[in-house]
Chains A and B, each alone.
Chain A
Amino acid sequence: MTGAARFAWFVVGLAVALYVGWAFAPDSAFYTQLLNGHRLLGIASLLKIACLLAGAVWAFACRDLLEAGNPARPAWFLLSLGLLSMLAGQLCLAPFQIVSGETPFPGPGDIFYLLAYPFLISALFVFLNAYREAGLPLGPAFERVLLSAAVAVLAAFILRPVAATPGPLLDRILTIAYPALDLVLLVPLVLLLRMALRLRGGHAGEVWLLLLTGFVFMCAGDICFAYFQSLGEEHLDPFVHATFILAYALVAGGAHRQLRILRS
């Protein structure tokens, strides 16, 4: 790992610790006098923008370095588009978060966040197909059916309390849409995770460890957001910030690791 990469991970670790600390000790002098909610929201916004921008650029660079006809090339492109769409969403939120310390929900940013999902889901399915072509086993069909059924059960379990919460229709639709799309994302994610286990110990395994952990945190962040939003537990938002910063940083880290392999 280069010095710059080590520093970047140190900053990410520090940021995660900062937001977890905020959740546990919101009334401490550090979080009320030195840093307040407004500043912390602004810092989180800038960190998310930096991670998403880096991830989108590095994923696109991976696409660029892979030759035409390589089955993984469109997957990196789709991943780049997904991250770019999330970046657009975060850029819509940033002025509100930095200037007034508020996060509008629903807001124009949600259009881009929702738009990111078809790109990310397609990216994972294209990766899955590419790695199957490389000889990684996809597993028997009945396992995939079983996995889809398990995700459907999980969806019913997770989404029911969120759906039952009263509130404006658009708020409710969006609060359900995020975790629902994450659960769809979970299907190729689990299949890729299984494949990636066979790559452990190699450089390609490191790429997938970072990417898949990032996606898992992304799903966890969305589900937590939906719960905290619908249950009125907004004081737990610092956990959501920490989860998303870590998720975006891990995905960007995976793209960067792949880029280093391609450039080596």
Chain B
Amino acid sequence: MTTTETVAAVVKVLAPYIGDTMARSATEAHCQKLGIAAANSVSPDQLDSLLGKLGGGLNIFLGREKSAAVIGEVRKTLGAPGAAP
């Protein structure tokens, strides 16, 4: 999956909780900080780091449990390992 597709999928899940603008800007900012280039595909390690960073931010708005559930939802959407069956 490319970075653009990953960002779009993450934003789709996060937007109902923190709004489209915040979801997009946070995801793009973390991608940039983690050196995930827009044109390339996202490696599993990079995805783990990205979701870890996003989860940390979400904690503040949603609490740890809800935040973990939302990140699980993102993993499921992306078909990433660690997603709830």
Contact = CB atoms under 8 A, between A and B. Distances in A.
Contacts of A198: 19, 21-22, 25
A56 B54 CA distance: 30
A134 interface: yes
Given A135-B26, A135-B57, A198-B25, A65 B19 contact: no
Given A134-B57, A135-B57, A198-B25, A261 B19 contact: no
A130 B61 CA distance: 9
Contacts of A92: none
A186 B84 CA distance: 44
Contacts of A133: 57, 60
A194 interface: no
Contacts of A200: 19, 21
B34 interface: no
Contacts of A135: 25-26, 29-30, 57
Contacts of A71: 60
Contacts of A8: none
Contacts, number: 74
Interface stretch (A141-149, A162-170, A202-210, A243-251): A202-210
Contacts of A131: 60
Interface string B50-79: 000000111111111010000000000000
Contacts of A202: 15-20, 22-23
Given A135-B57, A202-B17, A66 B63 contact: yes
B18 A262 contact: no
Contacts of B62: 204, 261-262
Interface in B22-56: 22-23, 25-26, 29-30, 56
Contacts of A204: 17-19, 22, 61-62
Nearest to B27: A135
B60 A201 contact: no
A67 B66 CA distance: 11
Chain B contact-residue range equals 20 to 34
Contact of A134 (B19, B21, B60): B60
A221 to B, nearest CB: 28
B18 A70 contact: no
Nearest to B56: A134
A199 B57 contact: no
A98 interface: no
A126 to B, nearest CB: 11
Contacts of B23: 202
Given A135-B29, A261-B66, A262-B66, A199 B60 contact: no
Given A130-B60, A205-B18, A262-B63, 20 more contacts: A67-B59, A70-B60, A70-B64, A133-B60, A134-B56, A134-B58, A135-B29, A199-B18, A199-B22, A199-B61, A201-B15, A202-B17, A202-B20, A202-B23, A204-B17, A204-B19, A204-B61, A205-B19, A262-B62, A264-B66
5 contacts: A67-B59, A70-B59, A201-B15, A204-B62, A262-B66
9 tightest A-B contacts by CB? A202-B19, A201-B19, A134-B57, A134-B60, A204-B61, A202-B18, A199-B19, A198-B22, A67-B64
